[in-house]
Amino acid sequence: MTSFSVLLGDFLDMMRSEKGCSENTVNAYRRDLEQFFEWCNARQMEIVQVKRQDLADYLGDIGQKQHYAARTVARRISALREFFKFLFSEKQITDNPAERLRSPKIGKPLPKFLTEDEIKLLAEAAFSHQNPNMQRIGIMIELMYVSGLRVSELVALPLTAVNFDREVVFVRGKGSKERSVPVSRKVLDALQKYIKYSRKDFVHPRQTSKWLFPSLRSISGHLTRDAFFKDLKMLAVEAGLSPAKVSPHVLRHSFATSLLRHNADLRSVQKMLGHESIATTEIYTHILSEDLINKVLQNHPLQRFKK
């Protein structure tokens, strides 16, 4: 009988190669499935022996007894579906117990975003520092705000990703899908200055680095998401903003919100954000409701009719 570790390894390799999953997604699958395996072990149950009722019991445990959030339960169900579908396709099991699992309904939370003035305060707080790291964080804040990059995309940008002549950044996003995002001249000028004068402070004198935002300490060789997140929280306090309101993803939301408020079309925003479905982008339209009502009241022909 093939061990769980071998089955899990084969499954994760398939998710990378065939489905193009990012390492973050692969690691999430790994964690969720290893926790399920521990649950099975506690009951002396082999993975290939799992039945529909066993899955129902497991989900009942994490959802009702351990009070996991609906979003977490939905993610676990997704991992189980994919894993058992893989086992069935590989003929490791004769029946797929996860085939009819249903995910709990999850209401989509409205995205949080910062105003243009708040973004300015955040960047100014970074640039007020004289040390190279905070200066670099200021540039990254502005780059994220004008491009809508995911934080994982931002920190892992290669040096060659920026095309200064065409004024775009080339990004490899989720599922290894590539896209290009236009960047303002102001931010590009700041990046050029950083590359020329400051970037060397983050590279060992006897080494080279392919990363736009290299790091002397991280294993990956580039600034980590966690380090950027912590610096943002610190800067939020300095800027007089609530740290709970500021995160890398909020900067991404702020980019989309700002574009839509300045009349960008939804399809263009979808492409720049790298959303596969426009339905994902449509959540940002909530910020237009008040603006839209005012425009209708001011401009609709019926408003000009007198009673």
pLDDT in tens, 13-36: 999 888 888 888 899 999 999 999
Which tops the pLDDT comparison, 303 or 75? 75
Q: In what order do the strands lie in the sheet with 178-182?
A: 162-163, 168-172, 178-182
Nearest to 65 by CA among 73, 77, 76: 73
**148 and 254 co-located in one domain:** yes
**126 and 168 co-located in one domain:** yes
| Residue 99 located in a structural domain | no
Give 233-264 pLDDT, tens digit per residue: 999 999 999 998 999 999 999 998 888 888 88
Amino acid 302: pLDDT: 59
Q: Is the pLDDT of residue 303 over 70?
A: no
d(CA 102, CA 243): 36
Q: What would the two tokens of residue 3 be?
A: 């061990």
As for how many domains the chain has, the answer is 2
Phi and psi angles of residue 237, each rounded to the nearest 5 degrees, phi first = -65, -45
Domain of residue 55, residue span: 4-89
Give 189-231 pLDDT, tens digit per residue: 999 999 999 999 999 988 899 999 999 999 999 999 999 999 9
**Claim: this prediction has a pTM higher than 0.75:** no
**142 and 249 co-located in one domain:** yes
Q: Is the pLDDT of residue 305 over 60?
A: no
Give residue 307's pLDDT band: very low, low, confident or very high (50, 70, 90).
Answer: very low
**57 and 123 co-located in one domain:** no
d(CA 143, CA 251): 10
Active site residues: 150, 174, 249, 252, 275, 284
**85 and 120 co-located in one domain:** no
> Which CATH number characterizes residue 224's domain?
1.10.443.10
